[in-house]
Amino acid sequence: MDKKKIKAVLFDLDGTLIDSYDAYYIAWFNILKQYGITLTKKEFYAAGGIAYQEMLKTMLKEKYAQLQKQNKIAGISDYLLKECMALMPEKSRPLPYAKDILLMLKSKGIKISIVSATPKNIIELGIKMLDAEKLIDFFISNEDVDMQKPAPDCYLMAKDKYGFSNNECIVVEDSPVGIKAGKNAEMKVIAVKGYFNRQLNVAKPDYIFDDLKQVGEKIITLSE
């Protein structure tokens, strides 16, 4: 790829800017318990980064087809969304330096968007928790693309909205699935450590950093 200055940063949301996994785990645990399934945290984190519908297929296992025939999947998805949104204010928080990195990038004229495998309502709530409504150019949700991460569609859509080349955008992710999506979009990817530290190298990001402060410093050097 040609070397070009970074003009836009495409952030994942959950685990990257917002520590929301506890809220999600409780919501998933409660819904699956109703169907006789006990979800462990290990199982939950193993599915990190994939879209809701794919997670439902994975977590409900053989019961998914039965519930689908009974036209209950949409209702389960709606219930799950409401549970997550109800839990997020208490069980989620912005990660350290999250607001700082957004303010710094904005001050440098670097474009900022959020590209997530979660529904629109949750992304809007996350942006509100970050107090970043005026800092984010736009967001891409799982409702905007047919193919979810690790497919590159969401990141390519964000790039096209800006009218930039792949080399002018950089992805910031925390999960192997998200990292693969960024790499499949032929963009540079920064991984920030969190819940998936042992799996990050396998996904082959271009850079791995301990926190968002280090991420911001690297992006500034790549934009100059």
What pLDDT digit, counting tens, does each position of 61-114 carry? 888 888 888 888 888 888 989 999 999 999 999 999 999 999 999 999 999 999
The pair of three-digit structure tokens given for residue 47, joined into one six-digit string: 């599915």
pLDDT-derived band at 167 (thresholds 50, 70, 90) equals: very high
- Look at residue 64 in the predicted model and tell me its pLDDT: 86
- Torsion over CA: 105, 108, 110, 113 (sign): positive
What percentage of residues in the chain have a pLDDT greater than 70? Answer: 99
pLDDT in tens, 180-216: 999 999 999 999 999 888 889 889 999 999 999 999 9
Find out whether 1 and 167 touch, Cβ atoms under 8 Å. yes
Q: Please report the pLDDT score of residue 1 as a whole number.
A: 44
**What pLDDT score was predicted for residue 3?**
67
Chain mean pLDDT for the chain? 93
* pTM reported for the whole predicted model: 0.92
Q: Distance between CA atoms of 50 and 183, rounded to whole angstroms? A: 16
Tens-digit pLDDT profile for residues 123-166 = 999 999 999 999 999 999 999 999 999 999 999 999 999 999 99
pLDDT, one tens digit per residue, over 7-24 is 999 999 999 999 999 999
One DSSP character per residue, 155-210 reads HHHHHHHHT--GGGEEEEESSHHHHHHHHHTT-EEEEE-STTGGGHHHH--SEEES
CA quadruple 5, 111, 207, 41: dihedral, nearest 10: -170
